[in-house]
Amino acid sequence: MITLNAVRKVFQTRNGPVQAVDDISLRIEQGEIFGIIGYSGAGKSTLIRMLNMLERPSTGTVSVAGQDLAALSNKALRKARQEISMIFQHFNLLWSRTVAENISFPLEIAGVSKEERKKRVAELITLVGLEGRGDSYPSQLSGGQKQRVGIARALANNPKVLLCDEATSALDPKTTDSILNLLVEINKKLGLTIVLITHEMNVIRKICHRVAVMENGKVVEQGPVLELFKRPKQLITKDFLKQVVEPEETTDMIKQLAKAKPESKIIQLKFIGGHAEEPIITSVIRSFDVSVNILQGNVSQTQNGPYGTLFIQLQGEYSEIERAVAFMHEQQVEVEVMAYAD
Amino acid sequence: MLTNLFPHVEWDAILDATYETLYMSAVTILATFILGLILGLVLFLTGKGNMWQNRFFNGIIAAVINVFRSIPFIILIILLLPFTNAIVGDIIGADAALPALIIGAAPFYARMVEIGLREVDRGVIEAARSMGAGAGQIIFKVLIPESLPALISGITVTGIAIIGYTAMAGIVGAGGLGNMAYLQGFQRDQTDVTFVATVIILVIVFVIQIIGDTVTRRLDKR
């Protein structure tokens, strides 16, 4: 659906040229939810803006639905943009228009007749769950409702691609969930390809099928979300994963325990997909002379299947611990011995 | 009773003068609104980071606006006398005042338009572009509606300044209440005429201010 080929973007600034996007090639398939995660300044905003030519690439090609966007005339590009819509972190609604008029805006741009617009706006208001709010002004809505208007507006012209620019970063966790659910719903219902950028791993975990990690203008790692959870390669990816699986208080607690019992070993087990059900802990306790102290565990759902982590502490003879760890390595789980020096 | 209080005031003449002032102000405000809006839009759109970014063109417009805004109005009228004579065919009367009034006020308003347009959220313009809006659609569906309260309060302020200009124009022969206050009030030492002319001008100013404030408040849904 979307192909980026060796795309670069250089900004000329007073302090010399800055490489915002540095040689990125990506393929995004029809109907998938593709996430791009990175810290601010990684170049993800520039990257997503090149998918509708709000930023033109310095070199390289961007093609969406088989069209090379940079080669289009102004008129053809405006037409193409009606099929690549976008939602924004700060919603970017027109305050001078009501909810219904905001949703009608892209239809006016596309030259849709008045009756048709009215009908389509009513459908969209129902689709995003804003019945009865059509005549409100954006200033009378909550953040979540504003983003719903943004989504309805983006869907008005039946786009093929929806670009989400930090669409949930200004929302509280509960509202974020409801907006993410809405995105998954429209992805399934309309078969829409969604590309989103974010700095929150939770957003990636909850709705993305595949993810690319960006750092300093480059994609440093990409793959199916579950694959990345299982075997993160880059340091920055592990950093992002910590947001989801390893909250700060866990890290603190583990440090404390490791200090108190230096002879014990703390181990993180990762259960991916169907293997989450295997009774590995029971086997360890039965087969080896070690005691197992369960510290913390969680299971979360991704679009590719469940994903669980379990932190345990093994106590006993050093050689027995080593054998137990070796046994766990042979099972269908990822094992990581946690090292917390200091 | 009115005759006793204001012995020198000829009410028919006052009515005519009021009409002239209103006529000059209305035409000037309308022309200033249109001309200033166009100038302000061009100034904004050719500015840095906008649709028609063009440093050269922007510089020229900014310079012209600054020059005309800086010339004291009373001098501008005199400087424009030949120009007025050429296009109106007269240098006395209400119509003769119009070119100077418009050329004096439009640049002032153009700056206010530019400031108002700069307040429009860039994200909203970006959103319109992402939907495939062209330049005309961005101007008429985004920039103008989203800055309308600023545009209206700007024309209110400018309109009040224009009333003041018409009074000044009266001194060099434009007619209206300013002319009456100067010729009949000041030069013939008939203070009551000056007083009545002043009160009427004040009433006009207040009415414009009230209308402007009300419209601005109604339009602003932020």
Q: List, for residues A145-197, the tens digit of each pLDDT value.
A: 999 999 999 999 999 999 999 999 999 999 999 999 999 999 999 999 999 99
Q: Are B152 and B109 in contact (CB under 8 A)?
A: no
All domains of chain A, ordered by start, with CATH?
Answer: 2-242 (3.40.50.300), 247-337 (3.30.70.260)
Which chain A residue has the Cα nearest residue B122?
A: A92
Q: What pLDDT band is residue A116 in, cutting at 50, 70 and 90?
A: very high
Is it the case that residue A342 has pLDDT exceeding 50? no
- Say which residues have a Cβ less than 8 Å from residue B183's Cβ, sequence separation at least 6: none
CATH code matching the domain that covers B11-219, chosen among 2.60.200.20, 1.10.3720.10, 3.30.465.10, 3.90.870.10: 1.10.3720.10
Please judge whether B221 and A137 are an interchain contact, meaning their C-beta atoms are less than 8 angstroms apart.
yes
pLDDT cut 90: percent of chain A above it? 64
pLDDT at B172 over 80: no
Would an 8 Å CB–CB cutoff place B135 in contact with chain A?
no
Chain A residues touching residue B131 (CB < 8 angstroms): 81-82, 85, 105-106, 109, 153, 157
Q: Looking at chain A from residue 101 to 160, which residues have their Cβ under 8 Å from any Cβ of chain B?
A: 105-106, 108-110, 137-139, 153, 157
CA of A291, closest CA in chain B: separation in Å? 58
The yes-or-no verdict on residue A234 having pLDDT over 50 is yes
Can you list the positions of beta strands (E) in chain A? 2-13, 16-28, 33-37, 59-64, 67-68, 84-88, 161-165, 193-198, 210-215, 218-224, 265-272, 290-302, 305-316, 334-337
pLDDT bin (cut points 50, 70, 90) of residue A271 is: confident
Q: Lowest-confidence range among A28-37, A102-111, B99-108, B173-182?
A: B173-182
Give me the mean pLDDT over the A63-89 stretch: 94
Q: Which residue has the tokens 């193409």?
A: A80
> Which of A186-190, A295-299, B144-148 is predicted with the least confidence, judged by mean pLDDT?
A295-299
How is chain B split into domains, by residue range? Answer: 11-219
Inter-chain CB proximity B141 and A157 less than 8 Å: no
Residue B47 has pLDDT above 70, yes or no: yes
Burial of A287 (0-12, 13-18, 19+ CB in 10 A): exposed
> B130–A54: do the CB atoms touch at under 8 Å?
yes
Nearest CA in chain A to B148: A96
| A24 contacts: CB under 8 Å, gap ≥ 6 | A4, A6, A7, A8, A47, A60, A217, A218, A219
ipTM of the complex: 0.87
Interface of B with A in 19-78 (CB under 8 A): none
Band of the pLDDT at A230, cuts 50, 70, 90? confident
Lowest mean pLDDT among A72-81, A212-221, A272-281, B130-139: A272-281
Read off the pLDDT of each residue in A105-116 and give the average, rounded to a whole number. 96
pLDDT of residue A274: 66
Which residues of A are less than 8 Å from B133 in CB distance?
78, 109
For the cut 70, the answer to whether the pLDDT of residue A276 exceeds it is no
- Minimal CA–CA distance to A325: which of A292, A276, A297? A292
Query: What is the per-residue pLDDT for A341?
Result: 47
Question: What does the alpha-carbon distance between residue B24 and residue B165 come to, in Å, rounded to a whole number?
Answer: 10
Q: Does the beta carbon of B119 lie under 8 angstroms from any beta carbon of chain A?
A: no
Local confidence band at A315 (pLDDT 50, 70, 90 cut-offs) = confident
DSSP conformational letter for A332: S
- Kindly state whether B121 is in contact with chain A, defined as any CB-CB distance less than 8 angstroms: yes
Q: How far, in Å, CA of B118 to CA of B45, rounded?
A: 10
Distance between A90 CA and the closest CA of chain B, angstroms: 8
Mean pLDDT (whole number) for A10-20: 91
| B222 contact residues in A (CB cutoff 8 A) | 95, 139
